[in-house]
Amino acid sequence: MALPVQRCWARLRPVTLPWPAAGYHAKPRILGKDSIYKPDPNDPDTKPWHKGPAYGAKLYGRHGSASGVNPASLWPSPEQLRRITEEEKEWQPSLREMQERLEAKDRELQRQQRDRERLIAANMAKMPKMVEEWRRSKKEAKQKEREEKARKERLLALAREKFGVNVDSRSTKFQEMMKELEKEEKKKMKAIKKKQREEERAAMAAVLSATPAAAQPPPPAPDTSV
């Protein structure tokens, strides 16, 4: 047990020391004129960030003309200058352009607000009529529901009169009987409507016969619905 602990302490000892356990011997920096570090771009060990115009601009900004960097070489090319100008126009617009964009946005918001207010006003004007139509449709639906319920109860009463009180409404025979009764009832309703139309035509003919010829309206069109 003691041997693994000693090995662990031996490995941790260099880490806990106030000085590096392993010696580090860095390569001497190549100093140029006035002790300015100038990496050799042709040296394969030179770091990539020590090459190119960016590091040259850094040296010139730090040491000025003493760095030996030609400031003309730090100026962007026409292509780079065009790209920089386009980026500035896109991401850094002028104050006038920003004001125009804000004004256009405000005008669009105001237009949308006016359209919304007009739509609300139009809908509010239609509201009483819409409510009246809704109430009428609801009343008609309830009336149809009551009529349908009364019709089914009437058909059920007729079927029970024919089959008896204890007839099973789920039986096939009962369902067929209900269909026959519905057909008969539809025929009766159709006959009643036809009779009403004939009576209306007869009444109209009597009125027309009693009216002078000059005041008679044109004869009604023949009814083709039957």
The pLDDT tens digits for 1-40 are 555 656 665 666 555 555 555 555 556 655 555 567 777 7
Specify the DSSP class assigned to residue 42.
T
Higher pLDDT residue, 213 or 150? Answer: 150
Place of tokens 């490995």: 11
Looking at residue 154, what is its pLDDT?
A: 76
Instruction: Name the percent of the chain lying above pLDDT 70.
Output: 72
The answer to whether the beta carbons of residues 56 and 73 sit under 8 Å apart is: yes
Looking at residue 13, what is its pLDDT?
A: 57
Looking at residue 226, what is its pLDDT?
A: 42
The pLDDT tens digits for 145-167 are 888 888 777 777 777 776 665 66
**Does residue 214 surpass a pLDDT of 50?**
no
Looking at residue 221, what is its pLDDT?
A: 56
**Does residue 134 surpass a pLDDT of 80?**
yes
Domain assignments of the chain as residue spans, ordered by start: 28-75, 93-167, 171-209
> Cα(222)–Cα(83) distance, rounded to whole angstroms?
84
| The token pair that represents 15 in the structure block | 């880490």
